Amino acid sequence: MAYCVVTGGAGFIGSHLVEALLERGNRVLAVDDESTGSVQNLSAVLGHPQLEYLRANVADQAVLQHITAMAEQVYHLAAAVGVALIAADPVRTIENNILPTALLLRALVRRHQQGQPVKFFLASSSEVYGKNPKPSWAESDEMVFGPTSRSRWAYGASKAIDEFLALAWHRQVGLPVVIGRFFNVVGPRQTGAYGMVLARFVEAALAGRPLVVHDDGQQIRSFVHVHDVVRAVLLLMDSPQAIGRVVNIGSDQPIRILELAHRVRAAIDPSLPIQFQSYQQAYGPDFEDCRRRVPDLTLLRQLTGFQPQCTLDQAIHDLIAWKRKVSS
């Protein structure tokens, strides 16, 4: 089996990916600076003989050399997370998204040119589409960002630069890269600290607080269970046809945010109130959002035959169960 490196390996999605790679029999090196992740997310596998955990920043040159020296596959999930962090610290968002990716790609290109190709998965984001007005977004659709004076768009633009870099190295030297654009991933180990809406709702409801819905709650999103996301990532990395491609990963079943709040409330305490808050109150005066974010999954299905196995209600149930467990 392969020697796999997972950056952001102690994060919400990364920790689930680490577990899945170990279950496949791989040797795994998980790297995380724990700025937004937590080693507790890996508690179930920390003693696994095939796992090495390194608390470090991927952008550190010594760390970079160590983690790429023996790697056969690299899953790059380390990045800034959440709209709250984007609004509060746009410099960190931009730098943490672009610099580690650029350095990591250069290190892998050196190995590639030495005759040691390393397959590279880049975790990108639906934020790359910006505020494209189409009802669902395909990988070839245009990016539509607001002005640079609105820091809201810094995340999507920085992830787009990551994609451009990865694809440029693929075209220029043949580096085997696969890019997955994640759409609203949810499930156990997710925190609401950085603005993730389902986790926010669940945490508020479990604490007996009102569920705070931004704007009018009529925004449309689609949510995918983290277990389905990990399965899609592994299917893409197993597919030779996915090399050099950008692929949406998510669910194409839309729901309004207000309806999501009602579902969480019904699952925990139907008597809890729902309150509305403007984006400006939540994230500052220059915040801007898009009304609808739903992926076209045609390419993912063509390449892998992927179909989501978990419903949104299952994801809500699993997240509630996990949060109750960790708070008990």
Q: 202-205 long-range CB contacts below 8 Å, 24 or more apart? A: 202/264, 202/268, 202/316, 202/319, 202/320, 202/323, 203/323, 204/272, 205/264, 205/265, 205/267, 205/268, 205/269, 205/272
| Closest listed residue to residue 159, CA positions, set 120, 194, 124 | 124
Tokens of 106: 């250069």
- From residue 233, alpha-carbon distances to 44, 119, 158 in Å are 21, 13, 21
b/e per residue 35-63 (b: at least 16 CB within 10 A): ebbeeebbeebeebebbbbbebbbbeeeb
Place of tokens 């955990």: 53
Instruction: Please measure the distance between the N-terminal and C-terminal CA atoms of the chain and give it in whole angstroms.
Output: 38
Q: What letter represents residue 298's amino acid?
A: T
**Residue 177: partners with Cβ closer than 8 Å, 6 or more residues away:** 119, 120, 121, 122, 166, 167, 169, 170, 243, 244
Q: Catalytic amino acids?
A: 155
| Closest listed residue to residue 206, CA positions, set 192, 217, 194 | 192
Rounded CA-CA distance 52/70 in Å is: 13
